Structure formats: C-alpha cells, structure tokens
C-alpha cells in the first residue's frame, strides 16, 4: 500500500514539474488529443513564473521539414516584454499577456524555442496553444502544376479527337 502512495506522489511531482516555467513540450503536426500542443506556466517552487525575467519553452518532436507554426498565448497578472521571441523572431505580444507568433517556418529537425520575457505579479499564470501545419516544398508544387498541365493537355486532345 505504501508503494502505491509513493508512486502517486512521484507522479504528482512529475506533473507539477511539467507545468513549471521553463519546460520542454513535445508538439505534433496532428495532435493525438486536444490536450497535446498545449503549454502553461504556473508558479512552482523556487523557479516561479518569469523568474529572473525569462521563461524558456522548448518545443521538440518535429521531423526535418518546413512548417507553419502558430503559437497563441494568453495570461493574467503578468507583463510580457517586447523582447520575447520565438527562435529569435519577435511576436505580437501585448504587455497585458496576450499575443501570438504566427507562420514561422523552419527546415530542420532542431527544436523551436519560445523565450517569454517580462515580469509576473502574485497569482500570475499563462497558457498557450501551438498549431503546426506541414508546408509542401517547391518541388511538390512543381510536380502538382506539371500534373495539372498534363491533365489539361490530355483533355484538350480528347476534345479535339471527339470533335473530328
């Protein structure tokens, strides 16, 4: 019976650490559940929300390729700094704790880093959602246009043959 309580305490501690300010979040192109691709910040232990003026959220799990990434953030009792950025690109964050980073694309499997800078008052919290869409590469578009051109050519040839 004691082993169950110890295991439950370890799981609870792990879940609180997952909600800490600095965190790593696995993201998906097609999330398995509605809770995936979501992050949040709560005051936890000595490393509270925006401690030392910075929270670092690292997004991992995407294979190499091109993506459109839309990150939306909402918070209360905090002030975000204009220096907040997503992989070095400034976003559209308001000082009141709302904003978004939109349509950032990358071509590698390296992780994406969201640096939230600012200050938090008592009872501060924030949460955010990440939407990831795979972007086809240029050669994919070229093949599609070529295929449509071939279909048009065949349709025109068939129409001319039927008219004769």
pLDDT (tens digit, 9 = 90+) per residue, 83-128?
888 888 887 777 666 777 765 666 666 778 888 888 888 878 888 8
| pLDDT at residue 49 is higher than 70 | yes
| pLDDT at residue 6 is higher than 60 | no
At 13 the pLDDT is: 39
Helix (H) or strand (E) holding 36: none
Buried b (16+ CB within 10 A) or exposed e, 28-57: eeebeeeeebebbbebbeeebbbbeeebeb
User: CA-to-CA distance for 98 and 49, rounded, in angstroms?
Assistant: 15
| pLDDT at residue 73 is higher than 70 | yes
Confidence band of 68 (pLDDT split at 50, 70, 90)? confident
Q: What total number of domains does the chain contain?
A: 1
Domain membership flag for residue 13: no
Q: Per-residue pLDDT averaged across 24-47, rounded?
A: 79
| pLDDT at residue 16 is higher than 50 | no
| pLDDT at residue 44 is higher than 70 | no
Q: What is the CATH number of the domain that holds 148?
A: 2.60.120
Q: What is the pTM of this model?
A: 0.65
User: CA-to-CA distance for 106 and 134, rounded, in angstroms?
Assistant: 10
Instruction: Give me the domain span that covers residue 78.
Output: 20-158
Domain membership flag for residue 12: no
Contact 129, 75 (CB under 8 A): no
Q: Per-residue pLDDT averaged across 33-44, rounded?
A: 79
DSSP symbol at 135: -
Average pLDDT, the chain: 76
Contact 120, 78 (CB under 8 A): yes
Domain membership flag for residue 1: no
Domain membership flag for residue 127: yes
């Amino acid at each position: 019976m004691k082993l169950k309580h110890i295991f439950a305490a370890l799981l609870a501690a792990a879940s609180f650490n997952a909600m800490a300010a600095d965190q790593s979040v696995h993201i998906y192109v097609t999330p398995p559940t509605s809770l995936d691709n979501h992050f949040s910040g709560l005051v936890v232990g000595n490393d509270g929300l925006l401690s030392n003026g910075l929270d670092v959220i690292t997004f991992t799990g995407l294979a190499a390729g091109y993506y459109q990434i839309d990150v939306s953030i909402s918070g209360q009792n905090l002030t975000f700094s204009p220096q907040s950025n997503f992989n070095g690109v400034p976003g559209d964050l308001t000082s009141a704790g709302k904003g978004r980073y939109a349509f950032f694309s990358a071509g590698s499997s390296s992780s994406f880093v969201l640096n939230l800078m600012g200050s938090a008052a008592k009872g501060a919290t924030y949460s955010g959602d990440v939407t990831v869409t795979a972007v086809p590469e240029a050669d994919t578009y070229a093949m599609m246009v070529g295929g449509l051109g071939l279909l048009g050519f065949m349709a025109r040839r068939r129409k001319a043959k039927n008219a004769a």
